[in-house]
A and B are shown apart, each in its own frame.
Chain A
Amino acid sequence: MNRCALSLRSAGVRRGTSSLVVLLAISDVIEVWSSRRGAPSGGGSRPRRAALTGAVLVGLLVAALVASFPAAAEAQMTASGTFKLAPTGREVAVIRPHPWSGWYWPWARVPLAKVLAKYDTFVAKRTGRNPGAAAWERKHHRGGEDWSGHCNGWAAAASLEPEPRNPRTVDGMVFTVGEQKGLLSELYMDCYHQFYGTRCYSSKSDPDILPHHFHRLLLEYMKERQVPIVIDADAGSPVWNYPAYAFETTWTTDVRRGKAEVTTKLYLADDNVVADFLGTKGLVKTYRYTLDLNVAGEVTGGAWARGTGKNHPDFVWVPTANSPPAGWQNPAVEEAMVRAIVGSPAPPSPPSPPPASGVASLSRLAMEGEPTLVPDQAYDTVLQEAGIDPAQLFAGD
């Protein structure tokens, strides 16, 4: 939310409820964690001493209230109407349902080819043709580094798709949970995403993501949007992608230095599991960094803490939507077939065209640009799903 008078009002409402949300979230983190493992000096008159004593007591009371409601103390309003980072604070977010754990299907020995051979048989039974997915996999998704695999496809699928939780029998063929997860991991090898940072290809080049950017992504995606981020946990050239399902960040502000010392625990879904694993196996990474603050307590920069070496993410990305194959994804694996196997609904087909109406120029553009004509109603249905009434929204003055 950009800073302005209007946004302060709405933020104030939200902040009133944030302490409860934070407390609930803290309990969630604990659940996740456990499932894994003086008197004034003399010299004044009596009334003055009494006043001083009263002031001290009020101060202690305020301090106690602030200490017992850290979330309420996270932000203070300055006289100018801007937010100021509190002396100490904590932010917590837990995403439910968590991204699910799944094997990363390494390229070495191409274990996914066995699943894809089964997929080929399934498709051949349905269509009469063998798509050749297993053959493509053996030719293209093999070798590489010893860490090479499908971790990016798994991370995206685990963030965007419901977890396959039961074996499924389709057309007389049984697909295990692991096989379904493997197919989804292949399907998402190419996907639309937002990318933050620079992938490291060698030990000396490419800057890693900066901590104030990392911190903002945690708050913006995980806290505000409830969207998992994916990190490359290795700041060197290997890539280990993990989707995050929770974080807990605490800070202490040093106003004199204009710094906030931050410790963030990031809870990641692990891929070091057997293929048929169910649920989320947690992996916790702890990062320490400083945030640079201006005089208003606003974050202007940051640095990873000294002595922590390369213990920070290389880059961060956020899967947005699946895309057609673009080079990294096995082109013989069709989304419709995978969805038939895992039982997830296919992307909705456009509804039947409504009665002729709307904007003439828009219809013309739609006909020129779209592979198939999609009526405007289909887009407005998405707005309605997001809680927006298009008729009210776009009603003119």
Chain B
Amino acid sequence: MLTRSCRLWAVLFMVGMLTLSVQPGVTAPEVDGFMPAWRVGDAWVVEARYRNLAMGEDAWLPPIRWRFHVRSAREVDGEPCFLLHVVPLGRPDLKVQAVLWLAQRDLRPVRVIDVFPLRGVATARRREFDPRRLTPLFPEGALIPYALPLFPFAEPSHTTGPTVVVGEKAVAVASTTFVDRVSQTWSPTPRGFVVELDDGQPGGGIRQEWWKGLPWAVSQSGRAMEVRLVEPAPGEERR
């Protein structure tokens, strides 16, 4: 027979194992704030629905599922990075892909390659990011919903309102540099955080909901598209 103390420890152990089993390969460091934790080999799928805006706010195009895969880890200028490869699930013929170099310490963007079709031929475009100027990652005209906020999110310590970070994003295109005001606002929720990103572009801002224990935002909404994480499915959908 187990003593009362042993039974208590056994229950705690089982609860702990159960918690780990529903969060495969993902942990959220609580000490410095929230950010998803990835390992090489992790993969997930999101589904994006696109508004057919030329036809009106209520017209939609068929969804595309995008597979995100942490394919490897490499250093860029001494910065250890994850290489995240994003492809349209089941639709290689679209010839739209992205490879994101994201710093392992906080997932800040370091380098992005967007692949897109140019008169039927896959073409690559590369972007580098200023290591001295932190900015959330915006797709910049890509079809892929890879917008990524700055991590980690910290719980507000002195106020109950949302935390706001405002900065600038400078993008050099041909001979001209465009500066956009960038803002990131986040608030804690019972399951994680809600974050709003805006870079002043005509597409408008986006809102993402992140849950602790999941590798990507469970949902994203904005004017141009709506996105949801479908695999691994959030808890309610699994039930």
A and B held together in a complex: yes
How far apart are B219's CB and chain A's nearest CB, in angstroms? 17
Residues of A close to B65: CB separation below 8 A: 369-370
- A379-391: CB near B (< 8 Å → 1, else 0) gives 1011101111000
**Residue of A whose beta carbon sits closest to that of B73:** A396
Are A396 and B56 interface neighbours, CB within 8 A? Answer: no
Interface SS of B by simple majority: strand
* Distance of A131 Cα from B11 Cα, bound (Å): 64
Are A197 and B202 interface neighbours, CB within 8 A? Answer: yes
- B13-48: CB near A (< 8 Å → 1, else 0) gives 000000000000000000000000000111111000
Are B69 and A362 interface neighbours, CB within 8 A? Answer: yes
Asked if B154 is at the interface of the complex by the 8 Å CB criterion, the answer is no
Are A393 and B130 interface neighbours, CB within 8 A? Answer: no
Partner of B97, one of A83, A226, A232, A382: A382
Known: A162-B119, A397-B75. A195 touches B89 (CB 8 A): no
Selecting from A110-118, A120-128, A315-323, the interface stretch reads: A315-323
Residues of A close to B133: CB separation below 8 A: 3-4
Selecting from B110-118, B186-194, B206-214, the interface stretch reads: B110-118
- Of residues 48 to 81 in B, which have CB atoms within 8 Å of A's CB atoms? 50-56, 59-62, 64-65, 67, 69, 71-75, 77, 80
Are A1 and B143 interface neighbours, CB within 8 A? Answer: no
Asked if A139 is at the interface of the complex by the 8 Å CB criterion, the answer is no
Partner of B90, one of A191, A212, A370: A370
Are B45 and A369 interface neighbours, CB within 8 A? Answer: yes
Known: A365-B231, A396-B40. A82 touches B177 (CB 8 A): yes
Are B115 and A1 interface neighbours, CB within 8 A? Answer: no
* Distance of A241 Cα from B53 Cα, bound (Å): 14
Measured as residues with beta carbon below 8 angstroms from the partner, the interface class of chain B is: 35 or more
Are B174 and A2 interface neighbours, CB within 8 A? Answer: no
Are A3 and B62 interface neighbours, CB within 8 A? Answer: no
Residues of B close to A97: CB separation below 8 A: 119
* Distance of A318 Cα from B40 Cα, bound (Å): 34
Are A328 and B55 interface neighbours, CB within 8 A? Answer: yes
Q: Which of B87, B123, B171, B172 gathers the greatest number of chain A CB atoms within 10 Å?
A: B172
* Distance of A26 Cα from B158 Cα, bound (Å): 59
The interface on chain A, measured as residues whose beta carbon lies within 8 A of the other chain's beta carbons, has a size of 95
Are B119 and A3 interface neighbours, CB within 8 A? Answer: no
How far apart are A87's CB and chain B's nearest CB, in angstroms? 12
Are A6 and B128 interface neighbours, CB within 8 A? Answer: yes
Residues of A close to B115: CB separation below 8 A: 382-383, 386, 388
How far apart are A57's CB and chain B's nearest CB, in angstroms? 28
Partner of A4, one of B67, B122, B132: B132
* Distance of A82 Cα from B177 Cα, bound (Å): 9
Are A194 and B95 interface neighbours, CB within 8 A? Answer: no
How far apart are A6's CB and chain B's nearest CB, in angstroms? 5
Residues of B close to A53: CB separation below 8 A: none
* Distance of A321 Cα from B64 Cα, bound (Å): 12
* Distance of A2 Cα from B125 Cα, bound (Å): 12
* Distance of A122 Cα from B237 Cα, bound (Å): 46
How far apart are B72's CB and chain A's nearest CB, in angstroms? 4
Residues of B close to A74: CB separation below 8 A: 174-175
Residues of B close to A1: CB separation below 8 A: 126-128, 171-173
Partner of A224, one of B77, B80, B131, B173: B173
Asked if B5 is at the interface of the complex by the 8 Å CB criterion, the answer is no
- A316-357: CB near B (< 8 Å → 1, else 0) gives 011011011011100000000000000000011010000000
Known: A4-B133, A213-B202, A369-B230. A382 touches B92 (CB 8 A): yes
Which residues of B are at the interface with A, using a C-beta cutoff of 8 A?
A: 40-45, 50-56, 59-62, 64-65, 67, 69, 71-75, 77, 80, 83, 85, 87, 89-97, 99, 113, 115-133, 135, 140-141, 143, 169-179, 201-203, 224, 230-231
Given A2-B169, A7-B172, A199-B56, 6 further pairs, Cβ under 8 A? A7-B128, A97-B119, A194-B143, A321-B95, A394-B72, A397-B75
Ordered by A's residue number, 28 sampled pairs between the chains whose C-beta atoms are within 8 Å are A1-B127, A2-B127, A2-B130, A4-B130, A11-B172, A74-B175, A83-B172, A97-B119, A193-B54, A195-B54, A195-B203, A199-B53, A224-B125, A227-B116, A232-B54, A299-B178, A318-B141, A326-B60, A326-B62, A327-B52, A362-B41, A369-B90, A370-B65, A370-B89, A372-B90, A381-B92, A388-B113, A394-B85
Enumerate the 7 nearest inter-chain pairs by beta-carbon distance, A residue then B residue, closest first: A4-B130, A74-B175, A347-B93, A370-B90, A385-B122, A195-B53, A386-B122
